[in-house]
Chain A
């Protein structure tokens, strides 16, 4: 299979590889996919106010999955939570010129963003309500 230059670039020089402290209240973590399906993405965001100030990922998967998640971290950095949630997998497909068999990689990246944002939100509403309760 021939890969697009952008996929090759992200594969060879993945952006924002790494991990953030998942126990921190400012960090949202999304883990999507399954090893038996051949891809697992972990995407983490660090949030200040409602803005994503940092993003990290680790991906087990094919080159297109690695590229999709690398691109996702690049895109969401500096965005608000709502802007990040608005990212569609089709934008990733277009940017990376993914062939039809690789569309699921982009779906997974979109899911990972949503999972990370939702994790952050649920952590903070729980903590906010816990804070309320302790008053």
Chain B
């Protein structure tokens, strides 16, 4: 067993060795520029890119021509939101999104607000989910775009994208979905799900970092975007820049593997996750699941360990690599905006840990992690004045706290 055990698959994933193998010839042998139309090197590169486009499209139920290659989800989000806002601003200037979105979406929305757009930030329910009714109620005649993530990166909650997509199509509003966590983990079909734009990142699905996709629908409706980077007019004019051929080959291979193995892997991950969850919940008291038991990713588990601060817990489980929603793990001193939006309580937000299992996680690793976490929580609770008060029967909500003099 290699330590520390990696249980942070929502942050990034290792490259699958099969992906690396597929990429290698494109560094040293087939190193042509995919835009070179007049020699064999260029043709080989272009051919490889087009094959990848097919592999990516197959994972999404899309047409290869609808695949715009980018550097990753953040770039895709910028292109989708800014590009659509600019293109359709004559039609309206209202955008709908959610408070629990990734910062990449929220920050782009903030930017668009400065440009004169109006953004509605829906508040998710306590499980992190936005409802069809909320979206319906927020739609206005001047709404041009709905931007909602498929699966939340912190708590794994799935939004009802298919229902929201159908509504958007009925109302003539574009739907963009950030599928960075969902693609390759749950079935995605841009046709059946009525999605107009969708992004994913290679490194979240066992592909390389620095390469991603923006799916842009070509028919009913045909989505047009204003390019955000000027240059040679690559990618149907939407994204200029020489294509990252080895990265794209790797992404294509990663998508193919994700598609072929989706069902078996989702089942295996869910079993590992459920095992971890069962051990934590049966061996500790005062633990809370953050997220939605019914509608969530198969490989995500987000738990708050009451009366234990997240960063101190991470220190106590140094042989396990996970993330915390605690403020102390970030430079901002703000706890997770997702857990805040879900209204789980600031104290529990400080106590949250995200566990992500993946393709290379074993049951032995999960048990090792569970042992470490359970022991560390017990030890830190012995140190915790809050646990002591809770055991004395004091309701912490009724205590008048004295914050520090800073």
* Residues of B214-269 contacting chain A, CB below 8 A: none
Tell me which residues across on chain A come within 8 A of B406, comparing CB atoms.
Answer: 103-104, 107
Tell me which residues across on chain B come within 8 A of A32, comparing CB atoms.
Answer: 402-404
* Residues of B184-232 contacting chain A, CB below 8 A: none
- Please give me the residue from chain B that is nearest to A43 by CB atom: B385
* Residues of A34-51 contacting chain B, CB below 8 A: 34-42
Given A34-B401, A104-B406, does the pair A59, B311 have CB atoms closer than 8 Å? no
Report how many residues on chain B are interfacial, defined by Cβ distance under 8 Å.
32
Q: Please encode chain B, from 369 to 406, with 1 for each CB lying within 8 Å of some chain A CB and 0 for all others.
A: 00000000000001111111000000010000111111
| Smallest CB separation, B229 vs chain A (Å) | 34
B107 at interface by CB-CB < 8 Å: no
Given A33-B401, A36-B347, does the pair A59, B328 have CB atoms closer than 8 Å? no
* Residues of A2-58 contacting chain B, CB below 8 A: 3, 8, 11, 14, 17, 19, 31-42, 58
* Residues of B323-375 contacting chain A, CB below 8 A: 326-329, 331, 333, 335, 345-347, 350
- Please give me the residue from chain A that is nearest to B403 by CB atom: A34
| B309 touching A38, Cβ below 8 Å | yes
| Smallest CB separation, B309 vs chain A (Å) | 5
Which has the most chain B C-beta neighbours within 10 Å: A11, A19, A62? A62
| A31 touching B312, Cβ below 8 Å | no
| A63 touching B401, Cβ below 8 Å | no
Partner of A58, one of B308, B335, B383: B383
| A11 touching B312, Cβ below 8 Å | yes
A71 at interface by CB-CB < 8 Å: no
- Please give me the residue from chain A that is nearest to B345 by CB atom: A36
Given A34-B403, A36-B346, does the pair A60, B386 have CB atoms closer than 8 Å? yes
| B312 touching A61, Cβ below 8 Å | yes
| B385 touching A62, Cβ below 8 Å | no
| B396 touching A35, Cβ below 8 Å | yes
Given A33-B401, A63-B315, does the pair A38, B328 have CB atoms closer than 8 Å? yes
- Please give me the residue from chain A that is nearest to B382 by CB atom: A17
B150 at interface by CB-CB < 8 Å: no
Which has the most chain B C-beta neighbours within 10 Å: A41, A60, A104, A107? A60
In the assembled complex, the Cα of A58 lies from the Cα of B308 at a distance in Å of 12
Partner of B346, one of A35, A60, A107: A35
Tell me which residues across on chain A come within 8 A of B396, comparing CB atoms.
Answer: 35
* Residues of B14-66 contacting chain A, CB below 8 A: none
20 pairs, A vs B, C-beta closer than 8 Å = A8-B315, A11-B315, A14-B383, A31-B385, A32-B404, A35-B396, A38-B309, A38-B346, A39-B309, A39-B404, A58-B384, A58-B388, A59-B383, A60-B308, A60-B309, A60-B385, A61-B328, A63-B311, A111-B404, A115-B402
Question: When A and B form their complex, which 9 residue pairs have the shortest distance between CB atoms, in order from nearest?
Answer: A36-B346, A34-B401, A35-B347, A42-B385, A62-B311, A58-B385, A62-B328, A38-B350, A63-B315
